[in-house]
Chain A
Amino acid sequence: MPRIHRDSIDAIKFLLPFFVFLGVFLIYPIFQSFYYTLNDITLSHLEPKFVGINNYVKLFSDKLFLQALTQTLLYLAFHTAIGVPLGLGIALLLNEEFRGRSFARACLLIPWSTPPIVAALTFFLSLNPGFGPINYLLELLGIIPPKFSIFGNPNLALFALASVSLWKSASLFAFIFLSALQNIPTEPVESAKVYGASSFTVFRKVTLQYLKPTIAVNCILSCILSLSGTQAYDLVAGITGGGPGYHTYMLYYLAYMTAFPWNNLGYGATISYIITFIAVIFAIILLRLWYKRT
């Protein structure tokens, strides 16, 4: 038997358990849920009724879906536009030599390691208009009126939620940036300094160039976290429940609510497919941008 052929058989043997697992827990559900999207199916009536692409067509006239889509994109833009630079800023700070740096780095782990539902409850209580310490402080500073409900305000609730998510994600972004910063070779930086470049120029012309792939990774991560990460569900469920009104409904939460509490599995699965589709588009765009630049 030729060597390469024998090696392939060995490789298959080793990989088989993984592929079986992948098949049962990922590939099969992907196809099964796609099948649901083409059917009218509920948890109480599991006999599917074929509706073709009706569920997809319905999305375009579904006001709630369109509202949730807009809100998700807003949330995503806010989360990425602020979260990634914030993470970079924190990483640059922690990359400097100072007393207590190790402690500060360790502290950075806390937000990310806090389970989303715990973060949700913490912020829900901290921003409670009745007794929340953050609300109290904002009141004292005259930023908000007494007993002001931030999560109950239709204009602010979404951004407040995105800020809670940022609190968690920025630390992850910072860690990823930090590891990238530590891998930047010192020579180009040193030479730039020798040639008289200012710190900002060194950052812009050297550091940032090396960080471009990491920025792309963090942007993709931010998009995925906003679209379908557990944060996108847990924070909404734990803090606002989609309210006030429908003002914090996001696609991930809407997919769950539609499929389960509102008992419309087929349509819920369709929304999930749209989320996946958007996430893939974002990933492709960002990857293309990255490869173009490098």
Chain B
Amino acid sequence: MLDKKSSKGKGDVDRFDPPSQSKRDYLKTLGTLGLGLVVGGAIGWFSRELVPKPAPSKIELNFYTTGHSGFYYDVGRLGWKPIARYMEQNPNVKINVLVDSFFNVYTKEAAVFAAGVYAWDVAYLWGAILAEFYKYWTPLDEIGVELPSEVQDDIVPYCKNAVWYKGHWYGLPRMLELFNLMADADVLNAKGLPFPTTYEEFLECCEEVHDPPRRYAFGIGLKEGYLLPPYLCFLHGNGGSLWKDDAMQTVIPDSPESIKAVEDMVYLYENYMDPAAIEKIAFVECSTEWHQGKYVFALYYPWPTMAVTDPESKVKKVYVWLWPGKKGVTRSASQVACEGYGIPKTARYKEEAWKFIQYLNSQEVQVQMALNMWWKQENEEPVPTRWSYFTDDRLKQYPYNIIVRAQLAALKYKANRYERPHYMAYCAAIEAEIMNALTKKKTPEDAMKDAREKCDEILQKEYELYGGGFYNPWPDMQKYKSKIDELLNQIPVEEEYIFPE
């Protein structure tokens, strides 16, 4: 019984007592340890001036990066090792590389920043993390760095979004990539189908080539965690936008274009995709299946195109170009991913960190990064972040040329990622509701109305903490249309890989 006291009372306390000998031993050990610490500390303190100072040791830079870009931690498939090279060129610097999955970076950086401790000198950065935790990053002007205007102009505006927040630069971009439409060229040619230039043509092609379960017309992972990017392509393809241009930059997943986008996704999923697609993350699993020839069309960052150089690939020839928009609405619409490196506020060696970041953004490193792209996820190496790097001769070789051209062409169309402080929360709210529509738990309209309700809650909190005025790179991007045309003209390509813009 709970209320019945044990008959063993205080009188029996000896039962639990250690023998007095052990007690003495315990206290003796504790006392000796304490005394040892005090004596050791005192000797250390008084002898600190007597001990010769060691020669200046190497500067150790802690470099925090993500797993999906093996090139940046020296496991690129071509064996070009940027970190080892930097240490060779700078013998006084040792780089400690710390790698994490992309999906863990956000929480780890958030926790480390909030704790206010030193962890890294150079760390992975992207638009949402910077916007949310800008207080924990070092603005370059704070360490006396002013980015020359020619460098600023050379950076693709979408990439600027990864390292620039409300008037301050916080680092330099490391990569740029946009969704493109890829097609197994042999299948299209065998059926006499042209590469689609409108969404309607794309659906017609899907109908012609769909042959389940041997081969699905369209392949993309729809699992939550990376469902927002494909959705944005459908949204932009309908002429929609995720933000309103009002003071709060209201997030509007319930716009007619957005509801239509979800309807389009549901239609494609039900009619032309692998039912298992809802368990696959974007193209992670799908890229292996693409390599095995299980899809004709794929919508993703275009590095799986490199399957054409792998003798084991079942896909031998790839057409890669624009994700087509709806007829009469827009020619194309994509979504963009940009990342960079910045210097946390708690970094120990900010100047050395800045030098290292500049190296990572140099032409040689950026071009080598692009050359390392491959169809496997750990080598998801994208294209460079600066206009002047695109015309490097090495990128003009097949198949890089078809990929770089497709990426450049996609930059002419809306590809916003809508990164802002509470991006992660918006993302989860919208993705969950798209999934509800895909699994028929709700109609697309109801699902997106529920998403709006959740987004309104998030918006209110975000506006209180951050105000509005988040950078929208799209207006800046439009200024570069003629520059993109100029660059496209400088990258030669065989006739059959040229498609209408």
Chain B, Cβ-Cβ closest to A8: B13
User: Which B423-466 residues have a C-beta within 8 angstroms of A?
Assistant: 424-425, 428, 432-433, 435-436, 438-439, 441, 454, 458, 461, 465
Q: Do residues A262 and B275 form an inter-chain contact, with CB atoms below 8 A?
A: no
Out of B13, B113, B224, which one reaches A43, CB within 8 Å? B113
Chain B interface extent, by class: 35 or more
Chain B, Cβ-Cβ closest to A261: B424
Point out the residues of chain A lying under 8 angstroms from B133, CB to CB.
43-44
Query: Does any Cβ of B come within 8 Å of A129's Cβ?
Result: yes
Query: Does any Cβ of A come within 8 Å of B117's Cβ?
Result: no
Chain B, Cβ-Cβ closest to A146: B213
Chain A nearest Cβ from B405, distance in angstroms: 33
Out of B107, B274, B276, which one reaches A260, CB within 8 Å? B107
Out of B2, B17, B107, B285, which one reaches A261, CB within 8 Å? B107
Out of A10, A242, A291, which one reaches B17, CB within 8 Å? A10
Chain B nearest Cβ from A257, distance in angstroms: 7
Q: Do residues B27 and A13 form an inter-chain contact, with CB atoms below 8 A?
A: yes
Query: Does any Cβ of B come within 8 Å of A115's Cβ?
Result: no
In the assembled complex, the Cα of A151 lies from the Cα of B275 at a distance in Å of: 12
If A260-B107, A260-B110 touch, whether A128 touches B279 (CB-CB below 8 Å) is yes
Point out the residues of chain A lying under 8 angstroms from B458, CB to CB.
262
* Chain B interface, DSSP helix/strand/loop, else mixed: helix
If A129-B276, A242-B224, A261-B425 touch, whether A154 touches B110 (CB-CB below 8 Å) is no
Query: Does any Cβ of A come within 8 Å of B474's Cβ?
Result: no
Point out the residues of chain B lying under 8 angstroms from A10, CB to CB.
17, 23
Query: Does any Cβ of B come within 8 Å of A264's Cβ?
Result: yes
In the assembled complex, the Cα of A241 lies from the Cα of B285 at a distance in Å of: 16
Point out the residues of chain A lying under 8 angstroms from B78, CB to CB.
none
Total contacts A-B at CB 8 Å: 103
Point out the residues of chain B lying under 8 angstroms from A13, CB to CB.
27
Q: Do residues A243 and B432 form an inter-chain contact, with CB atoms below 8 A?
A: yes
Residue from B26, B132, B136, B276 with most neighbouring chain A CB atoms (10 Å): B276
In the assembled complex, the Cα of A42 lies from the Cα of B225 at a distance in Å of: 22
Query: Does any Cβ of B come within 8 Å of A78's Cβ?
Result: no
Out of B274, B436, B465, which one reaches A42, CB within 8 Å? B465
Query: Does any Cβ of A come within 8 Å of B1's Cβ?
Result: yes
Q: Do residues B439 and A7 form an inter-chain contact, with CB atoms below 8 A?
A: no
Query: Does any Cβ of B come within 8 Å of A4's Cβ?
Result: yes
Chain B nearest Cβ from A286, distance in angstroms: 13
Out of B26, B110, B285, which one reaches A44, CB within 8 Å? B110
* Chain A interface, DSSP helix/strand/loop, else mixed: loop
CB 8 Å contact bits of B212-223 with A (1 = contact, 0 = none): 010000000001
User: Which A112-163 residues have a C-beta within 8 angstroms of B?
Assistant: 128-130, 146-149, 151-154
Q: Do residues A152 and B106 form an inter-chain contact, with CB atoms below 8 A?
A: no
Query: Does any Cβ of B come within 8 Å of A188's Cβ?
Result: no
Q: Do residues A128 and B421 form an inter-chain contact, with CB atoms below 8 A?
A: no
Query: Does any Cβ of B come within 8 Å of A244's Cβ?
Result: yes
Point out the residues of chain A lying under 8 angstroms from B435, CB to CB.
243-245
Query: Does any Cβ of B come within 8 Å of A45's Cβ?
Result: yes
In the assembled complex, the Cα of A46 lies from the Cα of B110 at a distance in Å of: 11
Query: Does any Cβ of B come within 8 Å of A246's Cβ?
Result: yes
Chain B, Cβ-Cβ closest to A267: B461
Q: Do residues A243 and B107 form an inter-chain contact, with CB atoms below 8 A?
A: no
Residue from A4, A128, A148, A241 with most neighbouring chain B CB atoms (10 Å): A241
Residue from A4, A46, A130, A247 with most neighbouring chain B CB atoms (10 Å): A130
Chain A nearest Cβ from B19, distance in angstroms: 12
In the assembled complex, the Cα of A100 lies from the Cα of B422 at a distance in Å of: 57
User: Which B1-42 residues have a C-beta within 8 angstroms of A?
Assistant: 1-2, 10, 13, 17, 23, 26-27
CB 8 Å contact bits of B266-287 with A (1 = contact, 0 = none): 0000000011101100000100
In the assembled complex, the Cα of A4 lies from the Cα of B17 at a distance in Å of: 12
CB 8 Å contact bits of B101-124 with A (1 = contact, 0 = none): 000001100110110000000000
In the assembled complex, the Cα of A243 lies from the Cα of B289 at a distance in Å of: 23
Query: Does any Cβ of B come within 8 Å of A228's Cβ?
Result: no
Query: Does any Cβ of A come within 8 Å of B483's Cβ?
Result: no
Q: Do residues B111 and A291 form an inter-chain contact, with CB atoms below 8 A?
A: no
A-B contact pairs, 21 of them (CB 8 A): A7-B17, A10-B23, A43-B110, A43-B111, A43-B113, A128-B279, A152-B223, A152-B276, A152-B278, A154-B439, A154-B441, A243-B223, A243-B435, A244-B224, A244-B439, A246-B432, A246-B436, A260-B111, A261-B107, A262-B428, A262-B458
Closest 8 CB pairs of A and B: A129-B276, A245-B436, A262-B425, A152-B278, A43-B114, A147-B275, A243-B224, A260-B107
